Amino acid sequence: MNPINPWAVIGQFQAGLLSIRRLGLLAAISRGADFNNIADLVDSFLDTPQMEECLRRFRDLPGGRRMLEERYPPLNPDIPRLAACPPGSLGHGYAHLIQSLNDDASFFRQRELSSEGRWLTQRIATTHDIHHVVSGFGTRPVGEIGVLAITATQIGFPAYVLLNAASGFSRFRFRPQESAAMARAIAHGTSIGFSAAPLCTARWEEGWELPVTEWRRRLGIQHPANDETYGLSAPRP
């Protein structure tokens, strides 16, 4: 009979507790997109095998390893300055989105950049709304899940993978009348993720003045979601 390894038992117990905590966070998020709950879910994957695999995929992307080594600064935008960029530009579109949501772009949770995983987590979190602008996904729940599907597909960012899977099941189980739209948004984001250049390695700060259309051309986003029911151009209820 093999002796019991106490450290393995402790590790399994801790993993079980973490899984229970994630389920609680997913349930809380499904009741309303509280930024703290989402940030807690994202942070729960720091220093995990899932984050290590995500980092491996990020390093293998063109420009990914260099961004990690440089610790390219997480986004810290000057919204009034960006709002003054030309209409149609990335800076103007991003500032308009932040202002329309009555958000402060500095609301992001501040994380120490002491590890590659923490740096990548902060970079993904702070540039998330730019992905809405260039991909055309709206900011209501279905659009949010669609835009998360891009990063989930391109680098397997752990929290986004989990949110996509949980959201698809949740709509199917509890709101079947909304499941078709959710499935379409996830498929749309996944398609962009496979066909477009990586959004997570884009150096947005070096091209605020460029038109959004030019960014889409460079990234290879041929079918943005703007005019879909879950798109940025869709009327809000």
Compute the distance between CA of residue 99 and CA of residue 143 in angstroms, rounded to an integer.
18
Answer yes or no: are the C-beta atoms of 200 and 148 closer than 8 Å.
no
In this model, does residue 144 exceed pLDDT 60?
yes
Q: To which H or E segment does residue 84 belong?
A: none
pLDDT-derived band at 50 (thresholds 50, 70, 90) equals very high
Is 55 inside a domain boundary? yes
Q: Which of 9-13, 30-34, 102-106, 144-148 has the highest mean pLDDT?
A: 144-148
In this model, does residue 10 exceed pLDDT 70?
no
What mean pLDDT, rounded, does the chain reach? 84
Is 162 inside a domain boundary? yes
Q: Lowest mean pLDDT: which of 56-70, 99-113, 199-213?
A: 99-113
Report the percentage of the chain scoring pLDDT > 90.
61
For residues 205-220, give the mean pLDDT.
98
For residues 200-216, give the mean pLDDT.
97
CA distances from 225 to 37, 124, 138, 211, 234 (A): 27, 20, 8, 17, 10
Beta bridge partners of 231: 137
Compute the distance between CA of residue 61 and CA of residue 106 in angstroms, rounded to an integer.
28
Domain that holds residue 12: 6-219
Is 229 inside a domain boundary? no
Is 227 inside a domain boundary? no
Is 234 inside a domain boundary? no
> What are the backbone angles phi and psi of residue 122, rounded to the nearest 5°?
-70, -40
pLDDT, residue 176, reads 74
Is 98 inside a domain boundary? yes
More reliable by pLDDT, 69 or 38: 69
Domain count, the chain: 1
Is 224 inside a domain boundary? no
pLDDT-derived band at 212 (thresholds 50, 70, 90) equals very high
Is 228 inside a domain boundary? no
For residues 201-230, give the mean pLDDT.
97
